[in-house]
Amino acid sequence: MTPSVSWRGPRIAGLALLALGVAALVATTRIPSVRDGWAVSGPRLVPLVASLMLIALSIAFLVRTVVRPDIELAQFAAAEAAKTHWPTPGLVMAALLGYLALLVPAGYALATALFFTATARALGSRRPLRDVIAGIVLGTVVCYAFTRWLGVRLPVGPWGV
Amino acid sequence: VWVFAASLIDGFGAVLSPENLLLALAGVTLGTLVGVLPGIGPALTIALLLPLTFNFSDPVGAFILFAGIYAGGMYGGSTTSILLNTPGESASVATAIEGFQMARRGRARAALATAAIGSFVAGTIGIILLTLLAQPVADLALKFRAQDYFALAILAFASVTALVGRSIIRGWASLALGLLIGCVGIDQLTGQSRLTFGVDQLGNGIDIVIVAVGLFAVGEALHMAAKLRRGGEEKLIDPGDRGQRDGGTKPARWLSRRDVRRSWKPWLRGAAIGFPFGALPSGGAEVPTFLSYATEKRLSKHREEFGKGAIEGVAGPEAANNASFSGTLVPLLTLGIPTSATAAIMLAAFQIFNLQPGPQLFTNNSELVWTLIASLYIGNVMLLLLNLPMIRIWVKVLEIPREALYAGILVFATLGVYSLSGSIVEVLVMYAIGVVGFFMRRYEFPIAPVILGVILGPVMEVQFRRALVASGGDASVFVDRPLTVALLSAALLALLLPYAPSIVGKLRGRPRPAGRLAFGESD
Q: What is the mean pLDDT of residues A59-69?
A: 91
Nearest to A138 among B183, B228, B408 (CB): B408
Cβ distance of B228 and A131 shorter than 8 Å = no
Q: Which amino acid is at B79?
A: T
Which residues on neighbouring strands pair with residue B194, listed in sequence order? B185
The highest-confidence range among B35-39, B489-493, B496-500, by mean pLDDT, is B489-493
CB contacts, 8 Å: B174 with chain A: none
8 Å CB contact of A21 and B414: no
Chain B interface mutation, best of A11, A115, A119, highest count of B Cβ atoms under 10 Å: A119
Q: What is the pLDDT of residues B320-369, one digit of tens each?
A: 988 988 888 888 888 888 878 888 898 888 888 888 777 778 778 888 88
Å between B269 CA and nearest CA of chain A? 33
pLDDT at B11 over 90: no
The DSSP line for B212-276 is HIIIIIIHHHHHHHHHHTTPPP--PPPTTSGGGEETTTEEPPS--HHHHHHHHHHHHHHHHHHHH
Task: Give how far Cα B158 sits from Cα of B161, B178, B346, B465, B481, Å.
Answer: 6, 14, 19, 20, 20
Looking at chain A, which residue has its C-alpha nearest residue B53? A150
Determine what percent of chain B is predicted with pLDDT higher than 70: 88
Contacts of A58 in chain B (CB under 8 A): 173
Contacts of B228 in chain A (CB under 8 A): 85, 88, 123-124
Cα B481 from Cα B475, distance rounded (Å): 12
- The residues, ordered by sequence, that sit 6+ positions from B400 with a Cβ below 8 Å of its Cβ are B37
ipTM for the complex shown: 0.94
What pLDDT is attached to residue B511? 47
Among residues 121-140 of chain A, which lie with CB inside 8 Å of chain B? 121, 123-125, 131, 134, 138
Considering only CB atoms, B190 lies closest to which of A36, A49, A64, namely A36
Q: Chain A residue with minimal CA distance to B165?
A: A73
Restricting to B residues 380-439, those with a Cβ less than 8 Å away from any Cβ of A are: 401-404, 406-408, 410-411, 414-415, 418-419, 422, 424, 427-428, 431, 435, 438-439
Contact B190 A73 (CB under 8 A): no
State the first-to-last Cα distance of chain A, in angstroms, to the nearest integer: 58
Give me the pLDDT at residue B519, please.
Answer: 40
From the centroid of its chain, how far is CA B440? 19
B131 Cβ contact partners less than 8 Å away, ≥ 6 residues apart = B4, B8, B373
pLDDT in tens, B363-394: 788 888 889 889 999 999 999 998 888 888 88
State residue B510's pLDDT score.
52
Chain A residue with CA closest to B464: the answer is A41
pLDDT value for B75: 85
Whether residue A97 has pLDDT greater than 90: yes
pLDDT of residue B246: 55
Q: What is the pLDDT of residue B164?
A: 62
Which residues on chain A are in Cβ contact (under 8 Å) with B408? 116, 138
Q: Which of B183, B193, B418 has the CB atom closest to A50's CB atom?
A: B183
Q: Looking at chain B, which residue has its C-alpha nearest residue A36?
A: B190
pLDDT digits 0-9 by tens, A17-61: 999 999 999 998 888 765 555 677 778 888 999 999 999 999 999
Element (H, E) at B193: strand B193-194
Looking at the predicted structure, is the pLDDT value of residue A113 above 90? yes
Is B185 in a helix, a strand, or coil? strand
Q: Do B33 and B405 contact (CB within 8 A), yes or no? A: no
- pLDDT value for B249: 53
Least confident of A71-75, A157-161, B36-40, B106-110: A157-161
Q: From the candidates A31, A64, A146, A149, which should be mutated to test the interface with B, based on the most B CB atoms within 10 A?
A: A31
Measured between alpha carbons, how far is residue B330 from residues B65, B66, B278, B338, B373 in Å?
A: 18, 15, 8, 9, 11
Separation of first and last alpha carbons in chain B:
41
Q: Determine which of B143-152, B436-445, B512-521 has the lowest per-residue pLDDT on average.
A: B512-521
Q: Which of A48-57, A111-120, A142-151, B310-319 has the lowest mean pLDDT?
A: A142-151
Report CB contact under 8 Å: B419, A154: yes
Among the partner residues B179, B407, B468, nearest to A116 by beta-carbon distance: B407
CA distances to B234, B289, B291, B326 from B272, in Å: 34, 11, 11, 12
Which pLDDT score, from 0 to 100, does residue A160 have?
Answer: 63
Give the pTM.
0.87
Q: What is the 3-state secondary structure (H, E, C) of chain A?
A: CCCCCCCHHHHHHHHHHHHHHHHHHHHHHCCCCCCCCCCCCCCCHHHHHHHHHHHHHHHHHHHCCCCCCCHHHHHHHHHHHHHCCCHHHHHHHHHHHHHHHHHHHHCHHHHHHHHHHHHHHHCCCCCHHHHHHHHHHHHHHHHHHHHHHCCCCCCCCCCCC
**What is the C-alpha to C-alpha distance for residues B322 and B330, in angstroms, rounded to an integer?**
14
Residue range B84-93: mean pLDDT, rounded? 75
A1 touches chain B (CB under 8 A): no
| Tens digits of residue pLDDT in B119-177 | 999 999 999 998 888 777 767 766 777 788 888 888 888 876 656 666 788 989 999 99
CB-based contact B229 A77, cutoff 8 Å:
no
Average pLDDT value over all residues in chain B = 84
In the prediction, which pLDDT does B520 show? 38
Q: What residues of A are in contact with residue B195 (Cβ under 8 Å)?
A: 24, 27-28, 31, 47
**Residues A12/A20, Cβ–Cβ less than 8 Å:** no
User: B404 vs A153: CB contact, 8 Å cut-off?
Assistant: no
| pLDDT above 60: residue A76 | yes
Helix, coil or strand: residue B186:
strand
Which of residues B279 and B519 earns the better pLDDT score?
B279
Residue B518 pLDDT grade (very low, low, confident, very high; cuts 50, 70, 90)? very low
**pLDDT band per the 50, 70, 90 thresholds, residue B214:** very high
Average the pLDDT over each of B89-93, B328-332, B391-395, B409-413 and give the range with the smallest value.
B89-93
Which chain A residues are within 8 Å of B177, Cβ to Cβ? Answer: 17, 20, 54
What is the pLDDT, as a whole number, of residue A154? 85
pLDDT at res. A151: 75
Q: Which of A41, A104, A119 sits opposite B473 (nearest CB)?
A: A41
Shortest alpha-carbon distance between residue A54 and chain B (Å): 5
Chain B residues with CB under 8 Å of A20 CB are 177, 180
Cβ-Cβ contacts under 8 Å, B194 against chain A: 27-28, 31, 43, 47
